Chains A and B, each alone.
Chain A
């Protein structure tokens, strides 16, 4: 051990490297360290580890984590911290630390590197299993470390075994179904601020799946409930003895030990041996025996049975001065002075983890504790949790003396929440008898320590209340009350640790096409479409989005423009029954589709609601290539597979995703054929030889491509399909050839304008999961003859009811006024009713300015819209959607096709 210096509340202290900050503070004489959360009473160290209810600190150095118990922080050079009053604060400076996650599979996971854990680990090693041993302490030994005892050699051998991996400072925070364990490894905090952060993470989250899980987490010592039981100087006896004996704390000259078991005697002896004068051991039991009791006697420590602590009195700075002892038979009291009151209220085994998976702890009167003696072929408990307390504890079920209402006001059950016996009694009087209700009424057990010490006291207090009410020792046993429910995590865990590396651009995949880098170089502004990055528009210097979109639209309608359509889902469908299959999936027919031709198709779910669309090409008799929406690709493939696998296994069809394999370039505009002719020379691209909705194989510089006359813009357009690896070459070549044509690249926004001008829908924009094909005025794509998925639902009353929203066009009266998308539509002069509600008659789904029309236009879903052509409706637009506050726009209902109704341009 080497001496280091650290800051606490801005003062410099010396400490031993690696010792708990709590030990260093005590050795430096800090007894009163903080004030309690609500009552502002002085408080000091009580415990040894994560059960510490009082002294929570804020790290000022290093990672600046808040709300850490001083008992678990290891002292290191440069460490700086300050005390808290139960309320943490979040530093606004960026958290520079790294946090990550790892996945680990193991034969046997042993939780707890104490005696019990190490012994079971040894058994599993001998059985030829690989063992992962995790423990939250800086070193192995558990209890032995507190006693300052070396590990016996056989257990050192276990640790040294080649098939054992030991992780220290690794706290198990959750136990989940099928032996799934989550643990938090603090890898660098103990190095302090001066040491450079090691490579890798500050905190690593271990996700562990084990064939066998062994839980040997040990136990916490319990305090007792008595008046003014919260004063600095009142500590758990095991903690006090450890700080004195192991960490050389020399601030106590006189101690009083109050106990209900033999642990108190063992701790009294340790204090005694270190020169602390133990004035008396007050034991609630009528008598006690066993080695530790004999040893205490031999050491000359006075012992008084049937006595316990009733109350305490403070010195000038609020710390313990006087202990008031009560004789439990005569009820008479007497005083004795001490700086230390060491309390041993029995052990509370750590049942938290097992209860996470719903295993119920069992009350054992002999142990005065809830135990989990669980052993299946996959999960077992060991050590104190399983009832093996090792020593000769022989505890009595005793939680404190009977207190009057005045004493109860200062008898603390949950030190962190400042909740007292008084509040617990009020809860019971109020009619609350469930421990969960009492917890919620009093907030006991809801603080940072999650009731690690207060939970059992609450149960004890309830039993005592009941016993008093029943006038004697009859009444409730803790078994009847049951434990508080424990939930993960076992100790608090920083958000960032659980977030891990799923931060920034790694938080969700970014999907890109083969042409992405070109788009970036071309200065595209991107849009997130699901996980895809798609070019939204390609602004030239100084352009605003509207300028850009108008320029791109004009190019597509009057010249030639090009778009990367590679994100469309593509599914290769082949097999003798492919056509039959598609007939069942799509609302329209595909068995009638000639080879080498393409057809638009619409899919419904069984409920008759449209869920995807796209163009499917018949490559040959038994071979189709389906395209889906960008967002729908995975959904549709899963849909196809579900029907093939679970309903129609007789159909001979195989489906394969080729979304990435094939890149798709859409060449659009009156000059597209001219330009394409320069690129594709081995097939006839003329109108008659290559009509609309036909598909042809061709080659460009020896690269095989499939050209299809598909148009999502209503313009003369060609789709060039080429493998990912050749897409960039083709695009670049097209771009070079396109220069004389002023070839213009366009993005999704222009695509939306162009398709809307033709009344082509976008699933998810012009639909909201409630439209049938008929609602979309697409009955032309619904087969009357054949059966298909969803057809039956069209017969349901509501799906064929009048008054349904139907897709129509909207022309704003003001040519320049683009109505906002999502805006609702009312009849003219609609007024709010008395509840302030205004009847609406539909809403705007898509709305743009059309350079081709020279005006604004929109698509909308309007009640009975198809019957209301020409009707003028109102679109009330509240601030801030318009400049100058709320206004009502007017628009007339029209057909949804605005450009080239006769499809002359498309088919030219």
Chain B
């Protein structure tokens, strides 16, 4: 199989002593749409073998076959992203054939790429470009939020202490990369 090229080709810069920024290329991602609380949602969760977080802003890790972990992000009441789950689409395909079912599933693996930022200065750096509240009490670990970063549409996840992921539309990826490097100027 031909390896995919990612928008930033695994670029990285900085150091975890202050802040490190690197691309996590090729995270398989599907976009999942279904009426919240519907029986279909339950079927989907079952087929995926992982719980879907209930509220926008919440995320949930679920272990999948092969012991690896997939990440489910809730972006809106009826909208989820399933990240890092290669077979997700296949697992759901049979359900699409049941004609009383109504849900949407789209492979969006290449729609965005992911940047991971880590280090004690990560919040200072993000705060230059991100106008949302990053305080622990407002945006704790396992939270996700959509917004604009340097005018680019992004999805921000708080992964671990001083570690965040920024998913950015592929066409904006290089712009955001440059903006982040610029924002980190004080620290790297």
Verify A723–B110 contact, CB threshold 8 A. Answer: yes
> How does the 8 Å CB contact mask read for B110-143 relative to A, with 1 for contact and 0 for none?
1110000000000010011011111100100000
Contacting chain B: which of A147-155, A482-490, A542-550, A658-666? A658-666
Is A298 part of the binding interface, using a Cβ–Cβ cutoff of 8 Å?
Answer: no
Residue of B nearest to A660 (CB): B170
CA distance A508 to B134 in the complex (A): 24
Q: Which of chain A's residues have a CB closer than 8 A to the CB of B135?
A: 105
Q: Which of chain B's residues have a CB closer than 8 A to the CB of A299?
A: none
Q: Which of chain B's residues have a CB closer than 8 A to the CB of A508?
A: 151
Verify B128–A501 contact, CB threshold 8 A. Answer: yes
Is B22 part of the binding interface, using a Cβ–Cβ cutoff of 8 Å?
Answer: no
Is A760 part of the binding interface, using a Cβ–Cβ cutoff of 8 Å?
Answer: no
Task: State which size class the interface on A falls in.
Answer: 35 or more
Is B16 part of the binding interface, using a Cβ–Cβ cutoff of 8 Å?
Answer: no
Is A755 part of the binding interface, using a Cβ–Cβ cutoff of 8 Å?
Answer: no
Main secondary structure of the interface of A (DSSP, over half): mixed
Verify B127–A104 contact, CB threshold 8 A. Answer: yes
Verify A103–B5 contact, CB threshold 8 A. Answer: no
CA distance A100 to B183 in the complex (A): 9
Within the complex, the shortest CB–CB distance from B170 to chain A, in Å, comes to: 4
Is B146 part of the binding interface, using a Cβ–Cβ cutoff of 8 Å?
Answer: no
Residue of B nearest to A722 (CB): B110
Contacting chain B: which of A411-419, A570-578, A768-776? A570-578
A660/B110 contact (C-beta < 8 A), A509-B152, A726-B4 known:
yes
CA distance A512 to B174 in the complex (A): 8
Verify B102–A576 contact, CB threshold 8 A. Answer: yes
Residue of B nearest to A573 (CB): B104
CA distance A104 to B127 in the complex (A): 7
A residues 92-139 with Cβ under 8 Å of B? 98, 100-105
Verify B111–A658 contact, CB threshold 8 A. Answer: yes
Is A887 part of the binding interface, using a Cβ–Cβ cutoff of 8 Å?
Answer: no
A105/B151 contact (C-beta < 8 A), A514-B5, A660-B112, A728-B5 known:
no
CA distance A514 to B6 in the complex (A): 9
Is B61 part of the binding interface, using a Cβ–Cβ cutoff of 8 Å?
Answer: no
Is A701 part of the binding interface, using a Cβ–Cβ cutoff of 8 Å?
Answer: yes
Within the complex, the shortest CB–CB distance from A621 to chain B, in Å, comes to: 9
Verify B128–A703 contact, CB threshold 8 A. Answer: no
Verify B179–A101 contact, CB threshold 8 A. Answer: no
CA distance A725 to B171 in the complex (A): 12
A661/B110 contact (C-beta < 8 A), A199-B186, A514-B7, A654-B33 known:
yes
> How does the 8 Å CB contact mask read for A545-587 relative to B, with 1 for contact and 0 for none?
0000000000000000000000000001011100000000000
Within the complex, the shortest CB–CB distance from A685 to chain B, in Å, comes to: 21
A532/B171 contact (C-beta < 8 A), A724-B7, A729-B5 known:
yes
Q: Which of chain A's residues have a CB closer than 8 A to the CB of B152?
A: 509
Verify B4–A105 contact, CB threshold 8 A. Answer: no
Q: Which of chain A's residues have a CB closer than 8 A to the CB of B174?
A: 510, 512
Q: Which of chain B's residues have a CB closer than 8 A to the CB of A512?
A: 171, 174
Is A209 part of the binding interface, using a Cβ–Cβ cutoff of 8 Å?
Answer: yes
Interface centre among A209, A657, A661 (most CB of B within 10 A): A661
Verify A702–B1 contact, CB threshold 8 A. Answer: yes
B residues 1-47 with Cβ under 8 Å of A? 1-2, 4-7, 26, 31, 33
A729/B171 contact (C-beta < 8 A), A508-B151, A661-B110 known:
no
Verify A511–B175 contact, CB threshold 8 A. Answer: yes
Q: Which of chain B's residues have a CB closer than 8 A to the CB of A104?
A: 127
Is A292 part of the binding interface, using a Cβ–Cβ cutoff of 8 Å?
Answer: no
Verify B131–A207 contact, CB threshold 8 A. Answer: yes
B residues 149-188 with Cβ under 8 Å of A? 150-152, 169-172, 174-176, 178-179, 182-183, 185-186
Verify A724–B170 contact, CB threshold 8 A. Answer: yes
Verify B127–A701 contact, CB threshold 8 A. Answer: no
Verify B175–A658 contact, CB threshold 8 A. Answer: no
Within the complex, the shortest CB–CB distance from B86 to chain A, in Å, comes to: 14
Within the complex, the shortest CB–CB distance from B181 to chain A, in Å, comes to: 10
Verify A200–B150 contact, CB threshold 8 A. Answer: no
Verify A105–B150 contact, CB threshold 8 A. Answer: no
Q: Which of chain B's residues have a CB closer than 8 A to the CB of A207?
A: 131
Is A442 part of the binding interface, using a Cβ–Cβ cutoff of 8 Å?
Answer: no
Verify A209–B133 contact, CB threshold 8 A. Answer: yes
A659/B106 contact (C-beta < 8 A), A105-B135, A501-B183 known:
no
Q: Which of chain B's residues have a CB closer than 8 A to the CB of A723?
A: 4, 107, 109-110
Verify A702–B2 contact, CB threshold 8 A. Answer: yes
Q: Which of chain A's residues have a CB closer than 8 A to the CB of B6?
A: 725
A656/B185 contact (C-beta < 8 A), A102-B127, A725-B6 known:
no
CA distance A291 to B162 in the complex (A): 57
Within the complex, the shortest CB–CB distance from A58 to chain B, in Å, comes to: 29
Q: Which of chain B's residues have a CB closer than 8 A to the CB of A725?
A: 4-6, 26, 109-110
Is A429 part of the binding interface, using a Cβ–Cβ cutoff of 8 Å?
Answer: no
Within the complex, the shortest CB–CB distance from A365 to chain B, in Å, comes to: 44
Is B64 part of the binding interface, using a Cβ–Cβ cutoff of 8 Å?
Answer: no
Is A430 part of the binding interface, using a Cβ–Cβ cutoff of 8 Å?
Answer: no
> How does the 8 Å CB contact mask read for A684-708 relative to B, with 1 for contact and 0 for none?
0000000000000000011100000
Verify B170–A101 contact, CB threshold 8 A. Answer: no
CA distance A510 to B175 in the complex (A): 6
Is B108 part of the binding interface, using a Cβ–Cβ cutoff of 8 Å?
Answer: yes
CA distance A508 to B152 in the complex (A): 9
Residue of B nearest to A206 (CB): B127
Verify A513–B102 contact, CB threshold 8 A. Answer: no
Within the complex, the shortest CB–CB distance from B37 to chain A, in Å, comes to: 16
CA distance A512 to B172 in the complex (A): 7
Verify A200–B185 contact, CB threshold 8 A. Answer: yes
Is A1 part of the binding interface, using a Cβ–Cβ cutoff of 8 Å?
Answer: no
Residue of B nearest to A733 (CB): B2
Verify A726–B2 contact, CB threshold 8 A. Answer: yes
CA distance A510 to B173 in the complex (A): 9
Verify A506–B182 contact, CB threshold 8 A. Answer: yes
CA distance A103 to B135 in the complex (A): 11
Q: Which of chain A's residues have a CB closer than 8 A to the CB of B186?
A: 199-200
Verify A572–B106 contact, CB threshold 8 A. Answer: yes
Q: Which of chain B's residues have a CB closer than 8 A to the CB of A656?
A: 31, 33, 104, 106, 108
CA distance A350 to B134 in the complex (A): 32
Verify B111–A506 contact, CB threshold 8 A. Answer: no
CA distance A728 to B130 in the complex (A): 32
Interface centre among A103, A723, A729 (most CB of B within 10 A): A103
Residue of A nearest to B182 (CB): A501
Q: Which of chain A's residues have a CB closer than 8 A to the CB of B175?
A: 505-506, 509-511
Is A652 part of the binding interface, using a Cβ–Cβ cutoff of 8 Å?
Answer: yes
CA distance A654 to B108 in the complex (A): 14
CA distance A512 to B131 in the complex (A): 25
A residues 61-119 with Cβ under 8 Å of B? 98, 100-105
CA distance A207 to B124 in the complex (A): 13
CA distance A658 to B169 in the complex (A): 10
Within the complex, the shortest CB–CB distance from A182 to chain B, in Å, comes to: 12
Verify B183–A658 contact, CB threshold 8 A. Answer: no
Residue of A nearest to B33 (CB): A654
B residues 45-59 with Cβ under 8 Å of A? none
> How does the 8 Å CB contact mask read for A494-536 relative to B, with 1 for contact and 0 for none?
0000000100011011111110000000000000000010000
Q: Which of chain B's residues have a CB closer than 8 A to the CB of A660?
A: 110-112, 169-171
Within the complex, the shortest CB–CB distance from B12 to chain A, in Å, comes to: 19
CA distance A101 to B103 in the complex (A): 42
29 contacts between A and B (CB under 8 A): A102-B127, A104-B127, A105-B133, A105-B134, A200-B185, A207-B131, A209-B133, A501-B128, A501-B179, A509-B150, A509-B151, A509-B175, A510-B175, A511-B172, A572-B106, A575-B104, A656-B33, A658-B106, A658-B108, A660-B112, A660-B169, A660-B170, A662-B110, A723-B4, A723-B110, A724-B5, A724-B7, A724-B110, A725-B6
Q: Which 7 A-B pairs have the closest CB atoms?
A: A725-B4, A654-B104, A724-B110, A200-B186, A660-B170, A511-B171, A661-B111
Excluding A661-B108, A723-B4, A727-B5, 19 further A-B contacts by CB distance (< 8 Å) are A102-B128, A103-B128, A104-B127, A105-B135, A501-B179, A501-B182, A506-B178, A510-B174, A574-B104, A576-B102, A656-B106, A661-B107, A661-B109, A661-B110, A662-B110, A702-B2, A725-B4, A726-B4, A728-B5
